[in-house]
Amino acid sequence: MLRSRIRDLLPAFVMRWYRHRRWKQGLWPKSEWRGDYPSWASAEADSQGYENAMILERVTAATRAVQEGRAAFERDAVTFPERAFDPAVLAALQAMVAVSGGTIELIDFGGSLGSLYYQYRPLLNGVKELRWVVVEQPHFVERGKSITPPGELSFTHSLSEIPGGEVNRVLLLGSVLSYLPDPWEFIREAQVYRFRFILIDRTACIRGRPTRLTVQYVPETVYPASYPAWLFRETDLKNAFKSDYQLRSDSVSPFSSLRIQEDGAEVEWKSFFFERKR
């Protein structure tokens, strides 16, 4: 309670500086994963959930700060004053731009209000034509359309709404697979669209343990919430794509390294870059 009151009294720029310093020092509040559930319904029953309206407003405020130049980028409704990026993700994006001759369509599934677009677009070179389409829940789509000027970034609520025919089409899955009730079914359905590339960013993987379904607890300093979340065994995730896709690279995200509190199992955020087999 006292910390919350102090935060309310501090100027916004002081809080932004404080968050950035904590993040750079590795002291940023960490999520926790607990349990090993047999089904999504059982994990959901043990979750508090979250308030969609509250989170949408926080994400909107953070996105506006980026749009207006008051922040370099945002993630999970938290703003950062200095530009930062995952070198492996940027290299994958840049490689896709180069291979496509500078014309590319990127489908950002679960992309919030364009978090990754604002983080990485200023860093991309050689882009001649870019369509960055965020696929999100209806209330995020409506808000995205209302605050985003016409241009490269657009919003829709379904993959099926996106016209086909684009050869250099990319599927971007930024920290989203863990929060789908059946990620394996989604992966199978996504491959029907025959994306040329699939880039998975910041996805929680568990070291040396089977894939498990947990409840993730978000620090209250970010937003109060708990919800079902998958922790993937890396080989399971790779095998889900290997029939149609070749793994070009994988890497550990530089932004966080976490552990499950209950049993000490190590969890790390990983990124994977796949290209469709010819």
Over its length of 278 residues, how does the chain's per-residue pLDDT go in tens digits? 334 433 444 444 444 444 444 444 444 456 788 999 999 999 999 998 877 788 899 999 999 999 999 999 999 899 999 999 999 999 999 999 999 999 999 999 999 999 999 999 999 999 999 999 999 999 999 999 999 999 999 999 999 888 776 678 999 999 999 999 999 999 999 999 999 999 999 999 999 899 999 999 887 777 778 999 999 999 999 999 999 999 999 999 887 666 765 777 889 999 999 999 98
Number of residues in the chain: 278
Q: Is 110 left (phi over 0), alpha (psi -120 to 50) or beta?
A: left
DSSP state of 128: S
For residue 43, give the DSSP letter: H
**Architecture (CATH level 2) of domain 2-276:** 3-Layer(aba) Sandwich (3.40)
Domain ranges of the chain: 2-276
CB 223 within 8 A of CB 62: no
What would the two tokens of residue 271 be?
């990124």
Side-chain half-sphere of 115: how many Cα atoms within 13 Å?
Answer: 29
Phi/psi for 78 (5° steps) reads -105, 130
Q: Which amino acid is at 181?
A: P
206: region left, alpha or beta (phi > 0 left; psi from -120 to 50 alpha): beta
Please list the residues that pair with 75 across neighbouring strands: 78
User: What is Dmax (Cα atoms) for the chain?
Assistant: 59
* Cβ-based neighbours of 41, under 8 Å, separated by 6 or more: none
Return the pLDDT at 3. 41
CA 213 to chain centre: 18
Non-local (6+) Cβ contacts of 3 within 8 A are none
Q: What's residue 255's pLDDT?
A: 77
